[in-house]
Structure 1
Amino acid sequence: MKQDLTDRIRMAIDESGKSMSAIAREMGVTPQAVRAYREGISSPSMDRLDALAKATGKSSEWMHLGIGEREDKQEGIISVPLLEVRASAGTGCINFSEQIVRRIDFFEDWLKRNVRYTNRNNLDMITASGDSMEPTINSGDLLLIDHGVNEVLYDSIYVAMVNGEVYVKRFQKTPSRTLLMISDNKKYQSFELKPEDEIRIIGRVVYFWTGGTL
């Protein structure tokens, strides 16, 4: 059964064996705030969710995303930066910032089992925006990107800068060696990119949450 964030928070608090007052002290918040998180009345910020994971002995990746092992382990961890980027699954966005918002820890064993990537140092995370890739990718989904892939090697979903705007789209090579930029949402038209178009493949989408591998 799929767990939502409130389920994971409740499980973490209940399994910790600690009182809400003790957890609150470690987090630097009030016991009332911890109770509100547990009951789903309010949602913690990313930093406070990290603090809650640490206070309850859970892994950050499980607390944030519901993947990997629940218990916190320090060895074999890959810390992936979440960038301040919203790649457009729609009509395109202009800004591409490499500023790191925070880091999300993954167990290396989980990544090796579930994700195809070139090198751990090539992994970043960004956020999708728009509905053109629905139902595959929804607006607000977190995307795990392999920056070691800088060309369309085969049909897949890539993050690309096209004529100065950033997109997350399915790219496909045509027999004439041009590229098709395809939206999974059939409401949107596919485009064949022209030789004069400026195209930069930023990376391939290798995993995304709601959680699907590519």
Structure 2
Amino acid sequence: MDLNFIRNIRKFLSQENLSIAEFAGIIGEKTSRVNDVLKGKQRPPFDMLQKIIEKFDIDANWLILGSGEVQNWNSSSNEKYSDELDYVPDYDVLVSAGMGIDGQGTTSPRAYQAFRRDWLHQRGLHARNLSIVTARGDSMEPTINNGDMLLVDMSKKVPRDSSIYIIRNNDTLWVKRIQTQPDGKLLLISDNKTYPPIQLNLDEFDDVEIVGKVVNISKDIY
């Protein structure tokens, strides 16, 4: 079934001129998860099959077995879905939910993740200000787990107490809650109480920056 599924989905994407990011956005999946399925790294989950069949009105027999009619999908609907989506760059960058790690990764996006435009606007978010990075470590558990994807609004650089931010110190990146102290110093707080707070004096460092505010956390549930 897997090879038939992969071949048929790739054929369908080519036929409808859909990118993987657009396809993932329409069915409400992460681009990375769809990529893994299409590369054969994981079997197509039942919930993904169900969403593809429902969203595109694809014949299940054709999708899984390659038999029967292809689908009743009207390709003009592609424009409708595309008009509803914005795409946010997903960087291969790790931020530390621990005691600090070097910001690893590249400056070019590894993929783009699709978000419904109305969902973003309801939250006062604009795709041009957003980026996605990946958390590493356990200091922000249970709020942020190792491997969670963080949606960061890079226009929000002025800390508000108890909100979660990405902080850069030279090449080190943290994801922490921030409290501003009366003397202007920042207290970087972990949700995992086994990690002590980190005090940061912005006046003592030339290369410290609040990169942006974490506005959404995406996690896999196994």
- How high is the TM-score relative to the length of structure 1? 0.67
Alpha carbons 2:160, 2:179 under 8 Å: kept: no
What corresponds to 1:157 in structure 2? 164
* Percent pairwise identity: 33
- Given candidates 99, 103, 108, the residue that maps to 1:95 is 103
What corresponds to 1:63 in structure 2? 29
Cα distance in 1, alignment partners of residues 116 and 187 from structure 2: 35
1:128 to partner: Cα distance: 0.5
- SS at 2:210's partner residue? strand
What corresponds to 1:81 in structure 2? 89
Q: CA RMSD in A?
A: 3.0
Q: 1:209 to 1:61 in 2, by over 3 A?
A: farther
1:61 to partner: Cα distance: 6.5
Deviations 1:84-109 (A, max 9, x none): 10101012121353220000111101
- SS at 1:167's partner residue? strand
Number of aligned pairs? Answer: 165
1:138 alignment partner AA? N
Cα distance in 2, alignment partners of residues 105 and 122 from structure 1: 14
2:173 pairs with 1:166: yes
- SS at 2:165's partner residue? strand
- SS at 1:83's partner residue? strand
Q: 1:165 to 1:61 in 2, by over 3 A?
A: farther
- Given candidates 193, 196, 211, the residue that maps to 2:204 is 196
Gaps of 5+ in 1: 1-12, 14-19, 29-48
Higher-Rg member (1/2): 2
1:196 to partner: Cα distance: 1.1
Deviations 1:37-80 (A, max 9, x none): xxxxxxxxxxxx938x84xxx635612289xxx64711121100
Q: 1:154 to 1:27 in 2, by over 3 A?
A: same
What corresponds to 2:20 in structure 1? 50
Cα distance in 2, alignment partners of residues 81 and 150 from structure 1: 19
- SS at 1:63's partner residue? coil
1:133 alignment partner AA? M
Q: 1:156 to 1:25 in 2, by over 3 A?
A: same
Deviations 1:113-155 (A, max 9, x none): 3x343x3200110100000000000010000000111231443
- SS at 1:192's partner residue? strand
Cα distance in 2, alignment partners of residues 159 and 186 from structure 1: 19
Alpha carbons 1:89, 1:167 under 8 Å: kept: yes
Greater share of residues in helix: 2
Q: 1:61 to 1:128 in 2, by over 3 A?
A: farther
2:214 alignment partner AA? V
2:92 alignment partner AA? E
